[in-house]
Structure 1
Amino acid sequence: MTAPPATGEADEVARRIRLVAVLVSSLSLLAALAALLVAPGYTLLGVSIALGSTQLAGY
């Protein structure tokens, strides 16, 4: 068993997780915009997925 990470290390891990979540949500929003151009019927689904990712990231 390993020891729990130091506070600074835990903050760094949390910061990286938030960064990845923001990047994923940004890509989802771009995909939703692309879907609007290609197939307007699927845009609502794409936007709802992107907004869900943003809420998971805490933004």
Structure 2
Amino acid sequence: MRISVDRDVCIGAGQCALTAPDVFTQDDDGFSEVLPGPQDGHGGPLLREAVRACPVSAISVREG
């Protein structure tokens, strides 16, 4: 699973970090980023909710 945040689209709302804090954080500028580590364990309902909650659809999740 590959999780990414399009930094050209992200507005720093922080909904992803609030919803799935084990997957996302915010950088020093307030924009979202995926936490380092294995992505395999991050496919749960909180990740799906974080993707849905992003107000600008900046998060993408691809299998494989």
Could you tell me the TM-score, scaled by structure 1's length?
A: 0.31
Higher strand share: 2
What TM-score comes out, normalization by structure 2 length? 0.30
Higher share in helix:
1
Q: Which has the higher contact order (CA 8 A, sep 6+)?
A: 2
